[in-house]
Amino acid sequence: MSYSARSRDIEPFHVMALLERAQQLQALGKDVIHLEIGEPDFATAAPIIAAGQAALAAGHTRYTPARGLPALREAIADHYARRHGLSIEPQRILITPGGSGALLLASSLLVDPGKQWLLADPGYPCNRHFLRLVEASAQLVPVGPAQRYQLDAALVAEHWNAASVGALVASPANPTGTLLGRTELADLTSALHARGGHLVADEIYQGLTYGCEAVSALEVDDEAFVLNSFSKYFGMTGWRLGWLVAPEAAVADLEKLAQNLYISAPTLSQHAALACFTPQTEDILQARRAEFARRRDFLLPALRELGFRIEVEPEGAFYLYADISAFGGDSQVFCRHFLEREFVAFTPGLDFGNYRAAQHVRFAYTQSVHRLEEAVQRIARGLRDWQG
């Protein structure tokens, strides 16, 4: 049977093969330390769970409007007012099935077949795969420590071509944890608007920043399309809930797409998410942010001491993107070595693009400091017999 070209072109998450092997090793009784998957180790906060249980008991099991519960859209608008000083009308907010649903809406609306978005390489792989799904493509722009792994106005000017229609940036970014500041975002959006392009900003790790607060693209460009999620900072990964903020003129077409693509986001999840914005939940989430900061502050110097090169200190998310050139060899083989020999799982750079992917790995500090200490000891031991 012949399947579509798009299904052949979209690559799998390479880390999933690593995860499957890690799970096999666990089934054999091995103590695997998981630093490969971008999922917080904390359970969803108790007030959110309680709100979900109450919603289920109250019979909130039917479809919501395609844009989402009005009360949740209002709560998100209030969130932007408190955190960013922005006045966002609730009707500009669409609730989606995860951040992926928001990306699906944005790419479906903004990119025609044959057109391109500029994306940083390395970056989150699903971004380019969604573009392929709508018969467009990603124009991957190599970025390194000199650019803090981010697109900027100069790179837009250098790489823009006849097929370009916009740029997708992430702040904080996966896999590097770097941010775009206010001036960088303003310059970037000016460069895009000068060329008739639009800005799409992935802000799903906002809230998880350390020693600083992330700037929203909406603070410098009210016409930006902003993706966010309840998965990371709010710790609701399995609830599959996100949102998209769009210019008012785009909302009707986005709502039409939502009606056709998924009808509405999960009702139970939307009711549960209302509890995300209470003081009780915020106290829990801020304590968790402080814990992620402690983990970063342990793991970053520990890996550097072992010889991993991490030239840019991450300010957000929960990842370290490390250069393994000092050890030699390919990142996929390197990762397999530490999984099989030391039972520590982390991700090869191949999942995040093409630029120097074989020389990089990503560590997710989504385990306790105690487990990270054990992981560092095992990695140090594994380096002694690495034959790269």
Q: What is the average per-residue pLDDT within 260-286?
A: 98
Residue 360's pLDDT band, with cuts at 50, 70 and 90, is: very high
Q: In the predicted model, what is the mean pLDDT of residues 237-247?
A: 97
Amino acid at 141: V
Q: Which fold has domain 63-276?
A: Aspartate Aminotransferase; domain 2 (3.40.640)
Res. 388: pLDDT tops 80: no
Q: Domain 5-43+281-385, what architecture?
A: Alpha-Beta Complex (3.90)
The pLDDT confidence band at residue 192, using thresholds 50, 70 and 90, is very high
The maximal CA–CA distance of the chain, rounded, in angstroms, is 60
Average pLDDT over residues 353-366: 96
Question: In the predicted model, what is the mean pLDDT of residues 106-132?
Answer: 96
User: How distant, in Å, are the alpha carbons of 200, 302, 365, 370 from that of 376?
Assistant: 37, 7, 12, 10
**Residue written as tokens 């940083």?**
120
pLDDT, averaged across the chain: 96
The answer on pLDDT for 308 being more than 90 is yes
Query: What percent of the chain lies above the pLDDT cut of 70?
Result: 100
Band the pLDDT of 11: cuts 50, 70, 90: confident
Per-residue confidence (pLDDT) for residue 44, from 0 to 100? 98
State mean pLDDT over 348-364.
Answer: 95
* Predicted local distance difference test score (pLDDT) of residue 10: 86
Average pLDDT on 76-101 reads 97
**CA 311 to each of CA 148, 150, 300: distance values in angstroms, whole numbers, following the listed order:** 9, 14, 10
Helix (H) or strand (E) holding 141: strand 137-142
Q: Is the pLDDT reported for residue 12 higher than 90?
A: no
- Cβ atoms 217, 241 nearer than 8 A: no
- pLDDT for 15 equals 80
Confidence bin at 194 (pLDDT 50/70/90): very high
Q: What is the pLDDT of residue 223?
A: 97
Report the relative pairing of strands 93-96 and 242-245 from DSSP bridges: antiparallel
Each domain of the chain, given as residue ranges in start order, spans 5-43+281-385, 63-276
Question: Which of 196, 194, 202 has the alpha carbon at shortest distance from 169?
Answer: 202
pLDDT category of residue 205 using cuts at 50, 70 and 90: very high
pLDDT tens across 26-43, in order?
Answer: 999 999 999 998 888 999
